[in-house]
Amino acid sequence: MSRIAIVERKKCNPTNCGNFLCQRVCPVNRKGDECVFEAEGKVGIDESLCIGCGICVKKCPFEAIQIINLPAQLDKPPIHCYGKNGFHLFNLPMPIFGKVVGIIGKNGIGKTTAINILSGLLSPNLGVPRKKAKLAELIEYFKGTELHNYFEKLNAGEINVAVKPQQVSMLPKHFKGSVKELLIEMDEKKQLNEIAKTLELENIFDRKLDQISGGELQRVAIAACVLRKANVYFFDEPTSYLDIKQRIKVSKFIRNLADENTAVVVIEHDLIILDYMTDQIHITFGAPSAYGVVSSIAATKEGINEYLAGFLRKENMRFRANTISFDDKPPVKTIQGDLLVSWDNLSKTLGSFKFRASPGGLSRKHVIGVLGENGIGKSTFMKILAGELKVDSGKVSDKVSLAYKPQYIDTDSDMIVREYLKEVIAKFSTELVAPLKLEKLFNEPLKQLSGGELQKVMIAKTLGQEAVNLFLLDEPSAYLDVEQRLITSKVISKLIHNSGKTALIIDHDLLFMDYLSEDLIVFEGEPAKRGQLEGPFEMEKGMNKFLTDLNLSMRRDQESKRPRVNKLNSRLDREQKGKKKLYYS
């Protein structure tokens, strides 16, 4: 198979394109063969006849067709396809006993499909629509590879799997009881108390699932998965909604699951956490919604560097034209300049929660990162700046007009993206619409967008509000894949510098923050009890303060210059802590 033709049936509209336009322009059809044909009211394309001229792709007014020349290395049929002209997945990741194996790659290129096949939730069709391959066929398909053993064990009933699904927000829709009731139901290992303690769930035992936060829901879902008696555990994005402290804790917890009888597979977009949590990784690459390929396995450090470089060494293959690069040193920035707003010592008590802020101010034309645990006063501070909350003592110089993208962005609106973003499309097509690749979503109703698509739409909607001078984005990286995270950070940074406005970014992905922030505000304290705002600081000083609280140190990778967390008590960790230089040595 050297070429695949993808037809997005949702977009294909033969009546409105001028009656099967692609069929009429295809040179193969014009010679009398049926390369493009009618299939249940839409079009189908026969890949064996297609010559890859691309005319249909250019002519279709609805961008419904993709013709893709596959890398020459793909000498086998796909492991699965969603219909003849639908998404194709090639190869699978390899669970390894005693190891945590990570999967990295864009959204929409088959990572979740791969996990569903390995866990037995989806019977693959080996590229033949409507077929359901038997385990014996999969054993044959993977002959001569490590996966051969895996499917043999699965066939022999020696593998039991447990999966933590990606969309934890769906949990309350499926289970109406309390946290404790759910965990009791899942507790095949009889380790409920131990695991609930490690994941800090005891305080929310009696709450219903629809009454807990996203971070709590994530930890409940992880506990529910781990309580199952299994020897292969799959975690699909286990750190979304978690703050950095919880991310580190959950990473250690997941790492400790792997032993000689247990394999762990993790899909994760937070590169620092992926690096920290896994031993080896697979890179997935391809074209979203068209095809995905799972690479051979590599040691985590080399694998992440290959991913950033866009080049697979073993396969000798480039899968991205550009390299994602990082600065060698954190940019030295001053935080003086034209102040948008400043404050002196502030205090505010809300019930049993006490918020305090040391004097500080926000400069115009600056992106300021905000780091701190959940429930520690970040939104209280925003409400004070926006004039929605009065302080008990202290003073804010001016009330600022603020546009806010909240952390949770679920919607059941039928409005289509083109309508919702009408003003943004008119005024920010170069700054926001094009780089965030929103055109493709114009005709989609908001409620049908994936988490990552909705996130990008909401970011554009917030940044496209001209009348405000402060943008607040709460967890803009959630649901975005690693490449989208880096593109989004560039979009935000450019817009802020060109418009002269200010952005406050709350996020827990340290690599995203490292890439984007010029200054840092650091929140310290105890969730739900007290929160102390310090800063803004220059990046290096702010990170040093933040990492001291976490007892972590970070260095830059020598090859890619990306930030990495040092192993606790490693030589570098001890050296950097000794010099009190926790952020890059």
Residues that bind ligand SF4 (CB under 6 A): 7, 12-14, 17, 20-22, 26-28, 35-36, 43, 45, 50-56, 60, 62, 64-65, 67
Q: How far is the CB of 108 from ligand SF4 (least distance, A)?
A: 20
Q: Which residues contact 147 (CB under 8 A, 6 or more apart)?
A: 92, 94
Q: Which is nearer to ligand SF4, 17 or 496 (CB)?
A: 17
Q: Which residues contact 165 (CB under 8 A, 6 or more apart)?
A: 221, 236
What's the DSSP call for residue 121? Answer: S
- In the structure encoding, which two tokens stand for residue 273, read together? 């956490």
Q: Which is nearer to ligand SF4, 10 or 399 (CB)?
A: 10
Cα 141 to Cα 106, 112, 283, 573, distances in angstroms: 26, 20, 21, 45
Q: Which is nearer to ligand SF4, 26 or 391 (CB)?
A: 26
What's the DSSP call for residue 102? Answer: E
Q: How far is the CB of 25 from ligand SF4 (least distance, A)?
A: 6
Q: How far is the CB of 17 from ligand SF4 (least distance, A)?
A: 3
Q: Which is nearer to ligand SF4, 86 or 394 (CB)?
A: 86
At residue 347, the 3 state secondary structure works out as strand
Q: How far is the CB of 441 from ligand SF4 (least distance, A)?
A: 17
Q: How far is the CB of 113 from ligand SF4 (least distance, A)?
A: 24
- In the structure encoding, which two tokens stand for residue 468, read together? 């405000």
Q: How far is the CB of 422 from ligand SF4 (least distance, A)?
A: 25
Q: Which is nearer to ligand SF4, 67 or 168 (CB)?
A: 67
CA dist., res. 174 & res. 182, Å (int): 11
Q: Which is nearer to ligand SF4, 21 or 147 (CB)?
A: 21
Q: Which is nearer to ligand SF4, 27 or 120 (CB)?
A: 27
Amino acid identity of residue 24, one-letter, is: R
User: Contact, 568 vs 550, CB < 8 A?
Assistant: no
Q: Which is nearer to ligand SF4, 16 or 393 (CB)?
A: 16
Look at residues 294, 289, 278, 247 and name the one whose alpha carbon lies nearest to residue 78.
294
Q: How far is the CB of 39 from ligand SF4 (least distance, A)?
A: 10
- What's the count of helices (H) and strands (E) in the chain, helices before strands? 21, 27
Q: Is 75 exposed, middle or buried (0-12, 13-18, 19+ CB in 10 A)?
A: exposed
How far is residue 315 CA from its own chain's centroid?
26
Q: Which is nearer to ligand SF4, 35 or 244 (CB)?
A: 35
Q: How far is the CB of 289 from ligand SF4 (least distance, A)?
A: 14
Element (H, E) at 280: strand 280-287
Pairing of strands 317-318, 402-405: unpaired
Amino acid identity of residue 202, one-letter, is: E
Q: How far is the CB of 480 from ligand SF4 (least distance, A)?
A: 29
**Please, which residues bridge with residue 474 across strands?**
506
Q: How far is the CB of 453 from ligand SF4 (least distance, A)?
A: 21
Write down the residue that tokens 């792997």 correspond to: 258
Q: How far is the CB of 126 from ligand SF4 (least distance, A)?
A: 24
Write down the residue that tokens 């009889």 correspond to: 190
At residue 509, the 3 state secondary structure works out as coil
Q: Which is nearer to ligand SF4, 8 or 216 (CB)?
A: 8
Q: Is the dihedral of CA 408, 375, 250, 305 positive or negative?
A: positive
Strand positions, DSSP E, 114-247:
161-164, 232-236
User: Contact, 520 vs 512, CB < 8 A?
Assistant: no
Q: Which is nearer to ligand SF4, 64 or 297 (CB)?
A: 64
